[in-house]
Amino acid sequence: MALLDIVTYPAPILGKPCKLIENIDEDLVCLVEDMTETLYDAPGLGLAAVQVGVDKAMLVYDVAEDEDSEGTGLKVLINPKIVHTEGKVTSENEGCLSVPEFRADVPRFACVTVEGVDQDGKPVKIDAEGLLSIVLQHEIDHLDGKLFIDRISSLKRSMYKRRVAKAMKAEG
């Protein structure tokens, strides 16, 4: 296993929809292992393949019930899609490993149903609410070429983009 570099905004790959996965092979299994190690090292709740520079519709997440159970709730979703949504909620103080040093309140669906396949190619259907619903929406957004900053007000988004541009200019 290896730690992977996390791609950060404004990298162009983050704004493009990912390619669907047609075969679960040894390379994909290795990617899952590396993404898992990277997720726990970051630390984060979820990580999409695009966030480590891989154009594949896959994500890993771990929404453990308590902080002492790190690693026990790891799940892999391949080619996930949201097939049903219900209600509205505000994800307070949402952040992202690819959008460092910025958090915001983000409008989300209260409940979602997600379908995809697991790392063994078996169909998966998840009815999610609460934190799991938010994490799945956030990571699937990545696979669709969206960041959480695309879901906040244009004023807050432009303030963040200006701050990043200024920092990049200062770095040379």
How are strands ordered across the β-sheet holding 99-117? 46-48, 58-62, 74-96, 99-117, 123-129
For domain 12-171, give the CATH superfamily.
Answer: Peptide deformylase (3.90.45.10)
pLDDT the model gives residue 72: 59
Query: b or e along 4-15 (b: 16 or more beta carbons within 10 Å of the residue's beta carbon)?
Result: bebbebeeeebe
pLDDT the model gives residue 111: 98
pLDDT the model gives residue 58: 98
CB 103 within 8 A of CB 94: yes
Active site residues: 139
Q: Helix H segments across 12-129? A: 26-41
Question: Hey, where are the domains in the chain?
Answer: 12-171
pLDDT of the chain, 172 residues: tens digit per residue: 799 999 999 999 999 999 999 999 999 999 999 999 999 999 899 999 999 999 999 999 999 755 544 445 899 999 999 999 999 999 999 999 999 989 999 999 999 999 999 999 999 999 999 999 999 999 999 999 999 999 999 999 999 999 999 988 898 7
pLDDT the model gives residue 56: 98
pLDDT the model gives residue 69: 46
- The pTM of the full predicted model, rounded to 2 decimals, is 0.92
pLDDT the model gives residue 65: 57
- Can you say which residues are annotated as belonging to the binding site for Fe cation? 96, 138, 142
